[in-house]
Amino acid sequence: MEYKGRICIVMWEFDVQLGNAEEYIDGQFTGNLGEILIR
């Protein structure tokens, strides 16, 4: 699983917030996710 998007903020605890995020599984685009937080 892979996420691509614009980095909005990286927090001290290694959280990453992405805007306009997209999800890819096995190299195949699976959909737009919008704004997400990865912990």
Mean pLDDT value of segment 18-26: 95
Contact 32, 19 (CB under 8 A): no
What pLDDT, on the 0 to 100 scale, is given for residue 13? 78
What pLDDT, on the 0 to 100 scale, is given for residue 39? 84
Number of domains comprising the chain: 1
**Maximum Cα interatomic distance, the chain, rounded to a whole number of Å:** 31
Two tokens, residue 30: 């699976």
**Whole-model pTM above 0.75?**
no
Write out the residue range of the structural domain in which residue 23 sits.
2-38
What pLDDT, on the 0 to 100 scale, is given for residue 29? 97
CB-based contacts of 27-32 (< 8 A; 24+ apart in sequence): 27/2
What pLDDT, on the 0 to 100 scale, is given for residue 6? 85
Query: What is the CATH classification number for the domain harbouring 11?
Result: 2.30.30.100
